[in-house]
Amino acid sequence: MATTNHDQVLDRREIAAALLRALEQRHEVLDAIVESNDRDSAIAAIGSLLGTTDFCAEAVLALPLGRLTKAERKKIRTELDDLDAVVKWTTDSRPYATGEHFRLRQISDDRADIELLKARCAEQLGDGSDAAVETERQKGAALMDDESGMWLVAEDLSGDEPKKIGFAFGELTGNEVEVRIWVRPEARKQGYGTATLKAARTELAAYFPGSTLIIRTPA
């Protein structure tokens, strides 16, 4: 899994926050675990109870008993405070990293979506011709038709009209989903890549339950 330092900080912060909520609601969390049929259902139950992602719920499920003490809870709180400070500093320079007013949706035949795909083909494939774009579009449509892939458009909804930011691509091979993202050049280094990656992880996990997500980000 390839992530930036900023992504890693956000992940650590989400996990620390989920662990604290879990410790505060330890009786409810324990009930949710013991009433679950298996590990996957326990993760889902914890995520629903704490309002967090499967990624963080899995960290809660793996929490060692030795970290249930007051001293350990204080350490987690201190770590969360430190991470909050880091996130504030990095978010000031990358304001869209939080994913607020942001969404992923399935690609359509809308002209604006096709123009976005054309920009991506021109940069990554070196060919933005109509023929190349149509070939890519058909490839994505075929993958989605046989449920072996999902192509998503990333949009910023903070303005009067949705602003198209880039793509998240998920392609299923066996039990693994390779996840790739692309952000248009003028939208880079503002946090959109982080927002797209985090949203893609959640969306594609829902599209392909039980699969392992393998994250690929452009060099």
Phi and psi at 193, nearest 5°, equal: -60, -45
For 48-91, write each residue's pLDDT tens digit.
898 888 888 888 998 887 777 888 878 877 877 766 655 554 45
Question: CA distances (Å), 162 to each of 112, 157, 195, 197, 211, in order?
Answer: 11, 5, 15, 18, 31
- pLDDT band for position 42 (cuts 50, 70, 90): very high
- E strand or H helix that includes residue 9: helix 5-24
Higher pLDDT, residue 48 or 92: 48
State the average pLDDT for the chain: 83
**Res. 3: pLDDT tops 50:** no
Mean pLDDT score, 135-154: 94
Angle between the 192-207 and 5-24 helix axes, to the nearest 10 degrees? 60
Type of residue found at 138: Q
Percent of the chain topping pLDDT 90: 38
Phi and psi at 36, nearest 5°, equal: -85, 150
The 3-state secondary structure of 53-120, one letter per residue: CHHHHHHHHCCCHHHCCHHHHHHHHHHHHHHHHHHHHHHHHCCCCCCCCEEEEECCCCHHHHHHHHHH
Mean pLDDT score, 197-210: 83
